[in-house]
Amino acid sequence: MHIDILTVLPELLESPLSHSIMKRAQDKGLLTVSLHALRKWAVNEYGQIDDYQFGGGAGMVMMPEPLANAIEELSASRTYDQIIYLTPDGQTLNQGIANRLSMADNLLMICGHYKGIDERIRQKYVTMEISIGDYVLSGGELAAAVLVDCIGRLIPGVLNDETSALFDSFQDNLLAPPVYTRPSDFRGMIVPDVLLSGDPKKIEAWRYEEAVKRTRERRPDLEAE
């Protein structure tokens, strides 16, 4: 998979993409993430990419010309399955969306900044808008890092144990069950006997029951989906 990210501040994305599972994915050649500084397509020698909004009001808006030129230049090199704008008013990211996007070959992500991007870019180029929650960040870079991480770990071969992702929270609309490791007795708190039984069917049944129980207690809305 290849992901291009258009950003005002590429430095904010360098560290999250250079460690742990995302580093492993790129080292294996399973994922390529290219960061593109939007100021490369600035409208003048001062690096301008934003301007005042029509109609007045506080906050600057990312100009259409730099974004359009950047998108068109990048699109000349590859065909994107989705051009994604990270924005608070997009559809809320969930595991289903991540699963679908993990099967793409090429993605382009646009990180908003200031008061957002000119609406005409959204209308002409953007094919998908994603929010990572009902709150506002200073820019879309952190949201892009979240999106890349949850997509990248689903690419076959990225995780050492590919079945691990199948049992993550939100797969099948369930939260993950409790997990335990050694020692079996920690300060008088004992691991459930079933997990020590060595019986795969009983363990699988227990984990499913616990996942259902936890979901009903903490996220009953998931069962309604």
pLDDT, residue 124, reads: 98
* Percent of residues, the chain, with pLDDT higher than 90: 88
Across the range 123-138, mean pLDDT stands at 96
User: In this predicted model, what pLDDT tens digit does every residue of 143-162 receive, in sequence order?
Assistant: 999 999 999 999 999 987 55
Q: Tell me the pLDDT band of 173, cut-offs 50, 70 and 90.
A: confident
Across the range 198-224, mean pLDDT stands at 92
pLDDT, residue 167, reads: 52
50 forms beta bridges with 62
| Whole-number Å distance between alpha carbons of 89 and 134 | 8
- HSE-CB at 28 with a 13 A cutoff on CA atoms is 17
Mean pLDDT (the chain) is 93
Judge whether residue 134 has pLDDT over 90.
yes
Confirm whether pTM is higher than 0.95. Answer: no
Q: Tell me the pLDDT band of 222, cut-offs 50, 70 and 90.
A: confident
User: What residue spans of the chain are helical by DSSP H?
Assistant: 11-14, 20-27, 64-75, 95-101, 119-124, 141-152, 200-218, 220-223
Across the range 35-63, mean pLDDT stands at 96
Judge whether residue 115 has pLDDT over 60.
yes
Percent of residues in the chain assigned helix, strand, coil, to nearest 5: 40, 20, 40
- Cis amide prior to 183 (ω within 30 degrees): yes
pLDDT, residue 166, reads: 52
Burial of 86 (0-12, 13-18, 19+ CB in 10 A): buried
| Whole-number Å distance between alpha carbons of 71 and 65 | 10
Judge whether residue 5 has pLDDT over 80.
yes
pLDDT, residue 161, reads: 59
Contact 36, 74 (CB under 8 A): yes
| Whole-number Å distance between alpha carbons of 158 and 186 | 33
Which value, to the nearest 10 degrees, does the dihedral of the CA atoms of residues 25, 31, 32, 35 take? -80
Across the range 70-74, mean pLDDT stands at 98
pLDDT, residue 172, reads: 77
Q: Which domains does the chain have, with CATH numbers?
A: 2-152 (3.40.1280.10), 169-223 (1.10.1270.20)
User: In this predicted model, what pLDDT tens digit does every residue of 91-104 receive, in sequence order?
Assistant: 999 999 999 999 99
pLDDT, residue 164, reads: 52
